Amino acid sequence: MTRAIGTTWIRTTSMGAALLALGAGAALLGASCNFGPCPGIDCPDPHAGTCPWRCAEPVWDGSYSVDGFENRRVRVAWVGSPRDAPDCEASNYNHFRDYYQEPKSLDRCPRCVAEPRRGRRYERVELVKGDNCTEDVVIEAPTVSEFVLPPHWDGSCVSQRTDVVPAPDDVDLGWGTAEYGLWDCDTSLSLEDVDALWGKIVRVCERTWPMDQYCAKIGSECIPVPAPGFRECLQYFGEDELQACPRSHPELVRAHSGVEGCTECDYDADGDRSGTRTLTFYADEQCSQPIPSTDARGNGQCFDLPPGVFPRSVSATLTVESIPVCEPRGGEQEGELRPGGVATFCCGPPA
């Protein structure tokens, strides 16, 4: 049901039969459907199948309903020495947060670090059929294709995308969504202090594909393939203490939120961050044949495209005009120092 351009489908063994059955049925139903409103119940949702990566393993322990777990909150985690912790973005994920294990001598609060955020980069680039930027303030037409951008995309050429099936012959506009976040600085904890206070860090990363409805049909979520050392995890939110993990995610991981008794990290910023961004669409996959487009709103968000085109690649130009000076605050002792609250995860084996 999907056409994933420049990517390979990967299915987990335990879900193979379900996915194949769903895909085969959808393919038969979709054979007679054209792009646009579906004329009857025999036409599947045109977005079914738009996962460029893989479907996460649904929670299972004799049934697919296990109290305390939500398949829509799937994440990946890495456990090991703080100094060896990998970067989430380099693993095709976004950083969610860190947890900690094996407390050493909790004799101080970890120092806070504040770093300036640069201009807001593009988080999503979608192609839309049946609307235009110039006349309509609200774009209500459906997304028919989306480029698969890396986390914190630097604007370099991207050609991988997923299309609805059957895809239209052309599109009318390109829509770029910038990274969300109004804050000017990012805060974190000093790696030196974390390494001195804790034996292990549990680095938790997350990323899903908003356009997907294929994995959702089997109660799952579309996620990138975990990088080596990462494991697929579901956090436990039940009221009772978890005694054992379900068979689908058998490994129990418990970790602390941090050092309790310390003030939270924050920052003071001198100056603002500002910059510009714009997209360029191309008729080929190498970003060498630019397509004329109009930034109709002048903010790098909505681009009207000429009739009869379907971009094969995209790049972005990002300009940083100013960044703030960030001064960290917080990380001061305000009470007895002890390990913070415990988060519970159930995970599969490391990749």
Residue 280's DSSP bridge partners are 315
- Is the CB of residue 69 less than 8 Å from the CB of residue 21? no
> Which segment of 62-66, 232-236, 239-243, 308-312 scores lowest on mean pLDDT?
62-66
CA 320/CA 135 separation, integer angstroms:
30
Residue 328's DSSP bridge partners are 267
Residue 320's DSSP bridge partners are 275
Which stretches within the chain are classed as H helix? Answer: 16-30, 191-197
- Of 197, 194, 192, 143, the closest CA to residue 171 belongs to 143
Residue 240's DSSP bridge partners are none
Residue 147's alpha-carbon distances to 2, 223, 225, 274, 349, in angstroms, are 14, 15, 17, 25, 30
CA 59/CA 247 separation, integer angstroms:
8
Residue type, 101: Q
pLDDT digits (tens, 9 = 90+) for 265-278: 999 999 877 788 99
Tokens 């192609």 locate to: 127
Residue type, 127: L
DSSP, res 276: E
pLDDT > 90 in the chain, percent:
68
CA 206/CA 73 separation, integer angstroms:
9
Between CA 27 and CA 35, with CA 31 as vertex, the angle to 5 degrees is 105
Evaluate if residue 27 carries a pLDDT over 50.
Answer: no
Does the bond joining 110 to the residue before it have cis omega, within 30 degrees of 0?
Answer: no
Q: What is the pLDDT of residue 100?
A: 98
pLDDT digits (tens, 9 = 90+) for 207-231: 999 888 788 887 889 999 999 999 9
Residue 124's alpha-carbon distances to 161, 166, 177, 250, in angstroms, are 11, 22, 5, 34
pLDDT digits (tens, 9 = 90+) for 164-197: 888 899 999 999 998 876 678 999 999 999 999 9
Taking residues 108-130, report their average pLDDT: 91
Mean residue pLDDT across the chain:
85
pLDDT > 70 in the chain, percent:
85
Which of 7-11, 135-139, 225-229 is most confident?
Answer: 225-229
What would the two tokens of residue 123 be?
């988080």
pTM of the full structure:
0.83
Between CA 180 and CA 133, with CA 147 as vertex, the angle to 5 degrees is 70
